[in-house]
Structure 1
Amino acid sequence: MISADCHGGGEIHGYRDYLPARLHAEFDTWVAGYEIPYPDLKGDLGPRNWDSDRRLRDLEADGVVAEVIFPNTVPPFFPKPSLTDQPPAANAGDLALRWEGLKAHNRWMVDFCAAAPGRRAGIVQIMLHDIPAAVEEIRWAKEAGLTGGVLLPGTPPGSGLVPMFDYAHYEPLWRVCEELGMPLNHHTGSAAPPAGETDVDKVVFLTEVSWWAHRAFTHLVVSGAMDRHPDLQFVFTEQGTAWIPEETRRLDYYWHRMSTAVGSQEYEWGSELVGRMALKPSEYWARQCHVGASFQRPAEAKLRYQVGVDRVMWGSDYPHKEASHPFSREALQLTYNGIDPVEVAAMVGGNAAKLYGFDLDALAPIAARVGPRVEQVWAPLAPEDIPVGADKCPAFVGVTGVKP
């Protein structure tokens, strides 16, 4: 088991050593006013993000031998304690400080991955306000050993960022990632506009946040990025799986109308764009896209042939509240029982190993010691065997017999 969706970050004071000395005083002022935003970053739970030994113990107890690590803790100098809800920078100086804070996180991530060689693929964070600087950071990350690729931020309305479908603006970014074999990871959260603080605001955010993330696929297709860079790989993580067949069919329908329905509005607006592309959206998906299928549900596993068995990468979302941890063994059994073990092995580990460069031979002894066996995943999960508390995780949604 390789989790393609885990999260981690440094203890907030620990970022100081990764900042230039000239910013230490400013950091001390900033951190003095920082408030930890979430219960799972406080007390005994917080160290799961940065305590290497504890993290290894937790993941091994859950059957997981390696992980792809997205950020979790807020980098220095960011104005709000939520990674998914940051206002635009107030000025150039504010933006420059945030960039230094983000780079501090990246340098912490290098050391954190080095503490467990071959078992962590750290993802490098960038900002889109300065593409040359982002390209330079990506080259540094490749050299430094961050094998998880690049976290591609969203470009929500009101952010002041150039929309992702602007091919010319982002061409240097696509080019360097293809050149270096660095996957572009788009995680749910960053593409949504800032939300308010009322209960209505929060519910709207919760119900729409994945939809905003899905838009990135359309924008990347129409930009021509996938067409011009056929070796560039994209990962859409913690956005669900069921949306993919429907969205690719919907876009294929438009592609067909825009290329054949002479006299239609679709043809008038889209024939030129479609005419310069070699493939349909579903074909770009099959060639270049992957889903970080966090806590995949049984109904989603049934769609695996439509999504592509070789495109699915299971994730536990450790250490988040909704993570399948510490019930990942049961989650796998619930979702993948009765499925060809070769397909299961690909979806829960092999596909991630191929994309992110994990050495399966090196991980095999650990898997033999801690991982679930084929016969354990193959057998259906009895309702009475669902652990207490498992319903916190979406993998168990709708399952009868969950104990109160």
Structure 2
Amino acid sequence: MTKRVIDADGHICEPPALWNDYVEKRYRADTIRVERDADGRDWMSINGTIRRNLRPAAACVPWGMDDPDKVPTWDDILPGSYDGGARIGVLDEEGIERALLFPSLYLLAGDIEDSAVAAAACHAYNEWIADMCRDGRGRLSAVGIVPLQSAEAARREVAHIARLGLKGVCFRPERYRGLPLYDESLKPFWEAVAGDGLFAAVHGSFGALMPSFATGRYDNLFFSHMICHPFEQMAACLDIVAGGVLERHPRLRIAFLESGLGWLEYWLDRLDGHFESMGQHVPWLKRRPSELFREQCFISIESDEAHRLPRLAEMGLEQCILWGADYPHYDCTYPGAVKDLEEHLAPLPAGLANGVRWRTAERFLGLV
């Protein structure tokens, strides 16, 4: 019997049409682009400057980092990463009912220095991804990205995202220009997200130049990739939960994605402990952090973390856990993502496994 499976953290790879056709002409040179040099090598360009340390295709095809002597170009990105019809073929091949799509290159939009360029890049990306989803026969959903370089521009883009029919807003866990997620200036942004029935997805990646735990310490990819996802997500979770964002906006749904599951038990236990012993320093926080997380937050699981689920169920967090395939990135399991998931879910009770397969994602996406 075929089981329902929803991919709650899939990706696309942006085609050249995005920056050549969708981005407003006066901003195209400074937006995020892939540029090819005279030797046929592709590099990332942001703010009008080529980044010689970032070969984008290596991270955006499943085999991209397997062979150091075979460096892919942007021509090698898979059609399922930018064409809605082709992506439906991937879903059928894998046995996935529907997918929620996130950016790849445009996860680096926080590196755009000019607020107007950032706003134009986000606006264009959101138009493009909405068009891709229209070719997905109702099985593709997506998040829009927001330019948190400006709180007001981000608020305005929320309305655009809602009009396009996208499911939520996405931003990086690092602080945009040092702005904490609980800052007063972001209240209208959070109100707009919750008021339009959208969710917020905190999704990091490596390769950004924003001030962060990784960029402040390391220039070696092994080290920076080790910490950029979990450390930044723990900090974003602290800002959102302890900073009062959830209590001020009780209808808000927030997901912390692609950072692993292992940190959550420790972090919530530590947050609760601080709430009990040092609560006077956060007088706006009236409820235990773990209670707030349980009611309003979500976190994605990688297949091989399924053994952690019984403990999280004991904490009452089973309804917070989603699964993401991460296609078409270099570290995804493809082909065979669902097969791998099922092997790891097999020892678990059916109710707990079905929550990861589809039930929590369905609730997160607002499908029920």
TM-score class, shorter: 0.7 to 0.9
Q: 1:160 aligns with which of 133, 157, 177?
A: 177
Q: 1:346 aligns with which of 342, 352, 355?
A: 355
The answer as to 2:152 corresponding to 1:132 is yes
- Please tell me whether Structure 1 or Structure 2 has the larger radius of gyration of its CA atoms: 1
Does the 8 Å contact 1:16/1:27 carry over to 2? Answer: no
Greater strand share, structure number: 2
SS at match of 2:326: coil
Query: Which residue is equivalent to 2:101?
Result: 69
SS at match of 1:123: strand
Query: Aligned Cα RMSD in Å?
Result: 2.9
CA distance in 1, matches of 2:19, 2:203: 23
Does the 8 Å contact 1:9/1:109 carry over to 2? Answer: no
When the two structures are aligned, how many residues end up with a matched partner? 331
Task: Tell me the amino acid that sits aligned with residue 2 of structure 1.
Answer: I
CA distance in 2, matches of 1:245, 1:7: 27
Query: Which residue is equivalent to 1:237?
Result: 257
Task: Tell me the amino acid that sits aligned with residue 133 of structure 1.
Answer: A
CA distance in 1, matches of 2:275, 2:350: 36
Query: Which runs of structure 2 are paired with 1:234-383 in the superposition (5 Å)?
Result: 234-259=254-279, 271-273=280-282, 275-305=283-313, 306=315, 308-358=317-367
CA distance in 2, matches of 1:49, 1:185: 20
- 1:70-100 Cα shifts (integer Å, max 9, x gaps): 10134xxxxxxxx4596462xxxx4322321
1:230–1:16: structure 2 CA closer, same or farther, 3 Å change rule? same
Task: Tell me the amino acid that sits aligned with residue 140 of structure 2.
Answer: R
Q: 2:223 aligns with which of 193, 204, 210?
A: 204
SS at match of 1:302: helix
CA deviation after TM superposition for structure 1 residue 207, in Å: 1.7
CA distance in 2, matches of 1:192, 1:303: 34
TM-score after normalising by structure 2: 0.81
Which ranges of structure 1 fall in alignment gaps of 5 or more residues? 75-82, 260-270, 360-404
CA deviation after TM superposition for structure 1 residue 55, in Å: 1.7
Query: Which residue is equivalent to 1:37?
Result: 56
Does the 8 Å contact 1:185/1:236 carry over to 2? Answer: yes
Which ranges of structure 2 fall in alignment gaps of 5 or more residues? 44-54, 62-72
Query: Which runs of structure 2 are paired with 1:39-58 in the superposition (5 Å)?
Result: 39=58, 40=61, 42-58=74-90
Percentage of pairs with the same residue = 22
Query: Which residue is equivalent to 1:226?
Result: 246
Does the 8 Å contact 1:241/1:296 carry over to 2? Answer: no
SS at match of 2:220: helix
CA distance in 2, matches of 1:340, 1:63: 21
Query: Which residue is equivalent to 1:364?
Result: none
CA deviation after TM superposition for structure 1 residue 119, in Å: 1.1
